[in-house]
Amino acid sequence: MTGAPWPARLSPQASKVLAELPPHATEMLRDVLDIAGRDPWTWPPFDARDPEGEDVRAAAAGQLTAVYWVNRAAARLYVVDIVWLG
């Protein structure tokens, strides 16, 4: 999948983390964001106590978490940060 477009836009911070991920984590991130792009509300809110923050979600799979914002107007995701515990 090298060179394939990402299923979401990445913040500068997320881009820095992505550049340092091992290849298998990069593929895992691509898969997680692909799933989130199909139905962004599948993943839980980042802070369930914040009623106005419903568009900020945390998609986690194993050691990887992607915090993203659902941009409803543009119909796309914006990845705020990536956490890799590996």
Q: How many structural domains does the chain have? A: 1
**Where in the chain does DSSP place strands (E)?**
9-10, 56-61, 64-71, 76-84
Range of the domain at 52: 9-84
Residue 3 in any domain: the answer is: no
Torsion, Cα 14 10 71 33, to 10 degrees, reads: -80
Residue 40 in any domain: the answer is: yes
Q: What is the pLDDT of residues 12-36, one digit of tens each?
A: 999 999 999 999 999 999 999 999 9
The answer to whether the beta carbons of residues 55 and 48 sit under 8 Å apart is no
Mean of pLDDT over the chain: 89
Residue 72 in any domain: the answer is: yes
pLDDT band at 86 (very low <50, low <70, confident <90, very high): confident
